[in-house]
Chain A
Amino acid sequence: EAQVTQNPRYLITVTGKKLTVTCSQNMNHEYMSWYRQDPGLGLRQIYYSMNVEVTDKGDVPEGYKVSRKEKRNFPLILESPSPNQTSLYFCASSSGSGGNQPQHFGDGTRLSIL
């Protein structure tokens, strides 16, 4: 079954404690991206990757890092989380250049930073 898998699904942590949210896709997609979803603001892109070792900033990259060492994996790293990063996060993948293709989303990771 084609899918995008995120872990963990829920996390409560404290300010300053580094955390990583993993994302994996099994569709051999070139393009992967991370979004955050906040009430009333819709989905905003944090970072995207066109392929292995190629990453670029989205609209709201501050406070986040990513890496793309393998095609299937695209982890999101919060080096020093702060309360304003409390949000619902989605990983997505798509074929080709990504921006102009249908995206497949994971089921989300709800982060609470205290």
Chain B
Amino acid sequence: GENVEQHPSTLSVQEGDSAVIKCTYSDSASNYFPWYKQELGKGPQLIIDIRSNVGEKKDQRIAVTLNKTAKHFSLHITETQPEDSAVYFCAASGGSYIPTFGRGTSLIVHP
């Protein structure tokens, strides 16, 4: 089955800095790669996603890149703000109906 590795598990940055979270996957049949943000006491919420026919996607301060050959994808957040502090999860799916999630990254943005 699919295996998704996510790094780092904790990321601490100063407000205004950039943050990068990386994920690798194992199943070459995976073709959908979403990123979710989970705030305290809430369920995960989709912030951006990418499909395997696209190499990069951007939405304001958030971007995702995908390298199918190396089987890795990354979340980039620029000009971080305190409200970006949350746990971020990557996921991969496509080979089956069961999406596989990474273990999460706790992002802390210091004012």
List residues of A whose CB falls within 8 A of some B CB.
Answer: 4, 31, 40-45, 48, 50, 56, 58-59, 90, 92, 97-108
- Total contacts A to B, CB within 8 angstroms? 62
Query: Given the known A-B contacts A90-B44, A105-B44, A107-B42, are A99 and B99 also in contact in the complex, defined by CB atoms under 8 Å?
Result: yes
How many Å lie between the Cα of A100 and that of B99 in the bound state?
8
Q: Are B93 and A100 closer than 8 Å at their CB atoms?
A: yes
Shortest C-beta distance, A69 to chain B (Å), equals 20
Contact B43 A4 (CB under 8 A): yes
Q: B residues within 8 Å of A by Cβ?
A: 1, 6, 9, 31-32, 34, 36, 41-46, 49, 89, 91, 93-94, 96-104
Closest Cβ–Cβ distance, residue B75 to chain A (whole Å): 15
Instruction: Tell me, in angstroms, the Cα distance from A40 to B84 when the chains sit together.
Output: 20
A99-B93, A99-B97 given; A42·B102 CB < 8 A: yes
Extra A-B contacts (13), CB below 8 Å, given A48-B98, A102-B46, A103-B44 = A40-B9, A42-B103, A43-B44, A43-B91, A43-B101, A59-B1, A59-B98, A92-B43, A99-B94, A102-B49, A103-B46, A105-B36, A108-B42
